[in-house]
Amino acid sequence: MNILGKVDLVVQLGKECYDVTSVVGDIDSDGILGQDFLRQNVDHINYRKSCLVIGSAIVPLQTVGGSSQICRVEVRETVMIPAHSKMWVPVIIPFAEYMAPLGFVEPDPDVMAEKEVFPMSDIVEIHSENVPVNVVNYSSEPITIFKQMHLGTCKPFFENTQQHRVARVT
């Protein structure tokens, strides 16, 4: 890594803000928390749930690369979808509180084969109280999908805004 300099920043984790001196380098990530910061401020790192525990606050980790959190997408309440139609079905995403605000929902191919329904891929706001998934019934009969039925998976979605960030480097 090519070191470009240092910069003093205010970093917000959850609702708390921290004054940190950061090393600026040519990396693809927005930033990396160092061991010195973690030792000084973090009470516990939960790798299974991909979060930091700082006092009573839980701060989700945003990982880059192959180790992203993936959660199930389950039907919130039993619904009947009429034949040859589509419907917004309310879902729950267990452990969504440990994920980024946006998630990419992918359908489970087994659901499509078993039930003759197709949960549409979509980007959803997973921390919203009501998360809907558009489900298509392509059969000639009404289909009932039951509460807690597995529809697919959800993985974190990070927008690449390509915005340039400016900081004073010393």
pTM summary value: 0.56
Q: What CATH number does domain 71-156 carry, 3.40.50.720, 2.70.40.10, 1.10.10.60, 3.30.460.10?
A: 2.70.40.10
The whole-angstrom separation of Cα 111 and Cα 152 is 8
The yes-or-no verdict on residue 132 having pLDDT over 90 is: yes
Q: pLDDT: is 50 or 109 the higher one?
A: 109
State percent of the chain over pLDDT 90: 37
User: Where exactly are the structural domains of the chain?
Assistant: 3-60, 71-156
Tally of CB atoms within 10 A around 61 = 19
The amino acid sitting at 38 is L
Taking the C-alpha atoms of residue 45 and residue 42, their distance in angstroms, rounded to an integer, is: 7
Query: Looking at per-residue confidence, does 107 or 16 come out higher?
Result: 107
User: What's the rounded mean pLDDT across residues 82-91?
Assistant: 96
Q: Are the C-beta atoms of 119 and 74 separated by less than 8 Å?
A: no
The single residue listed with the structure tokens 């920043």 is: 9
Both tokens of residue 153?
């998976």
Residue 138 has pLDDT above 50, yes or no: yes
Q: In this model, does residue 131 exceed pLDDT 80?
A: yes
Indicate whether 86 pLDDT > 50.
yes
What confidence tens digit (pLDDT) does each residue in 19-53 have? Answer: 988 888 877 666 788 888 899 999 998 877 778 88
